[in-house]
Amino acid sequence: MQIFNIAEETLAMHNDIIQNAIENNGIIFGGAVRNKIIRDHHNYKFNEYINDNSFNAKGLIDYKSDYWNKDIHSESKARTIISNDIDIYFKDKYDYEHFRDFLRLKRFTVKHEKLMNDSYVNLPEVIEHYKLVFTFEIGGSYTKKGELIKINIDVVFPKEPYLYLEPPFSKTDFLCNAFVQDKSGIRISNNTGTPIDNMTFAQKALVSSRIILNMVKFKTLMNMSITGNLNVLLHRVSKMVNDENYKWNITNLPLRVVHCNSPLLLHKECCICQESFNPDDKIIGIRTSNNKIIGYHDYCFIKYLKFLVENSGSDEMLCPMRNDVNLIDNTIDFKQLCGFV
């Protein structure tokens, strides 16, 4: 009986879908591009690890079976990262339909295809947005069902022919999402909506490398000037910091991880659950407008963040102690980021 690795098969399908989209003049953007950059870097690190002569001689590593085992060389476990969905931009509806029909020929089943009334890129007046769910069955037989793999795809294209818009449509949320993939390969977008768009080639190369070096460590900056709506901002922050496998460090948020004995802490107990901090607790510290540090258990803070996402109707974020926490004005100093003035 043949045993399939679901993660390996899913990644192969992702790669096939992305390749076909690019062949049909598509531009990949969002998490799929970000995660490919991260995955390729950690794949290189894993290969360095297994190519060590001492390991080869002892026969400790079986590449095919151990590659997907995150416990083996956990430092490079991000080699297995796969996006939950794929975001694709096509220049017109014809290219989209050609792409969709090709996938059907590849034995993908279209389980869901819906034209969305709203636009997740906040450009409903010029962009069509389709949400698709493809499924593919592997390992089945005549009498038994196999494993069903589901692929979520968001497709956008202009409503008007010949209107060219490049993702992320001047609406970059995090700098790690400023990259696109097309026939030329992976590059930083020309339409990030940040000062990057007006940089010289040399400056773009420098800022790209700095963003990527942070990205592979799951560190990034949030572009507050673009993401001015608090509900949108909180939703995106919550999604990043609450990732089940890889929690992102958004370095320009007024947050920090502090130890329970830190002299910066205003209180020695969590301001949400009111329980005292223990040495092993992971404590999120929020810097208030008065430069004080209010401490929370990380899990309490994430729950509170989710509550704010669902219930916030204001333009400010208040901590449970009613301190005003300014998330909006922590804008990026692009000159400092690039290392030039």
Give per-residue pLDDT as tens, 157-215: 998 877 888 999 988 889 999 999 999 999 999 999 888 999 999 989 999 999 999 99
Ranges 42-51, 150-159, 207-216, 263-272: which has the least confidence:
263-272
pLDDT, the chain, mean: 81
Q: Is residue 112 part of a domain?
A: no
Q: Look up the CATH number of the domain holding residue 268.
A: 3.30.40
Residue 333 has a pLDDT of: 64
Between 145 and 91, name the one with better pLDDT: 91
Q: Is residue 218 part of a domain?
A: no
Say which residues have a Cβ less than 8 Å from residue 202's Cβ, sequence separation at least 6: none
Residue 282 has a pLDDT of: 80
Element (H, E) at 317: strand 317-318
Q: How confident is the model at residue 328 (pLDDT cuts 50, 70, 90)?
A: very low
Q: How confident is the model at residue 329 (pLDDT cuts 50, 70, 90)?
A: very low
Q: Is residue 118 part of a domain?
A: no
Say which residues have a Cβ less than 8 Å from residue 260's Cβ, sequence separation at least 6: 268, 277, 278, 279, 281, 283, 295
CA–CA dist 13, 106 (Å, integer): 10
Share of the chain above pLDDT 90, in %: 34
Q: How confident is the model at residue 341 (pLDDT cuts 50, 70, 90)?
A: very low
Q: Is residue 200 part of a domain?
A: no
Domain count across the chain: 1
Q: What is the dihedral of CA 189, 195, 201, 206, to 10 degrees?
A: -90
CA–CA dist 266, 135 (Å, integer): 52
Q: How far is CA 119 from CA 108, 122, 237, in A?
A: 25, 5, 19
Helices then strands, each counted (H, E), the chain: 9, 14
Render pLDDT for 223-250 as a digit per residue (tens, 0 to 9).
866 544 555 666 677 677 667 678 788 8
pLDDT exceeds 90 at position 80: yes
Q: Is residue 274 part of a domain?
A: yes
Question: What phi and psi values does residue 325 have, to the nearest 5 degrees?
Answer: -110, 115
Residue 4 has a pLDDT of: 78
Domain that holds residue 294: 255-325
CA–CA dist 14, 43 (Å, integer): 17
Coil, strand or helix: which one is 97?
helix
Render pLDDT for 96-136 as a digit per residue (tens, 0 to 9).
999 988 888 877 777 777 777 655 566 666 788 889 888 88
Q: Is residue 116 part of a domain?
A: no
Q: What is the pTM of this model?
A: 0.80
Q: Is residue 2 part of a domain?
A: no
Q: Is residue 173 part of a domain?
A: no
Q: How confident is the model at residue 41 (pLDDT cuts 50, 70, 90)?
A: very high
